Amino acid sequence: FRYTDPNLSGVIVIRTEKLQIERFQETGEEVHLYIDWISECEYTLTFKKIINPSPKRDKTNMTGKEMPVKILKIEGNIMTYSTKFEGMELEGDLEKILDN
């Protein structure tokens, strides 16, 4: 997957049933998150670890923090999602670029 937001254009998302890895191509940073499916359209991402953290990243420990995600719609290979995390409400799109 990849995010369609231009601010996240260099992030590739690799996903299995239980794990999501977000690779930041520019910095080499990797964010590993557990996926806990609640329903077909809802899941929780739990921060597992960060490899090669970017110097720009807030250094507070993210391990164990949870991010609830709702899938709002799927059209073709685009999934629109919403999430609330640390006081922010975000909505965006993930584009499926390869089949597993």
**Mean pLDDT value of segment 74-91:** 93
**Mean pLDDT value of segment 8-12:** 88
pLDDT over 90 (residue 94): yes
pLDDT over 70 (residue 99): no
**Model's pTM, two decimal places?**
0.86
Quickly count: other Cβ atoms within 10 Å of residue 30's Cβ. Answer: 16
Kindly report the length of the chain: 100
Hey, is 86 helix, strand or coil?
Answer: coil
Using alpha carbons, list the distances in angstroms from residue 79 to 28, 31, 55, 60, 98: 25, 20, 30, 30, 14
pLDDT over 90 (residue 86): no
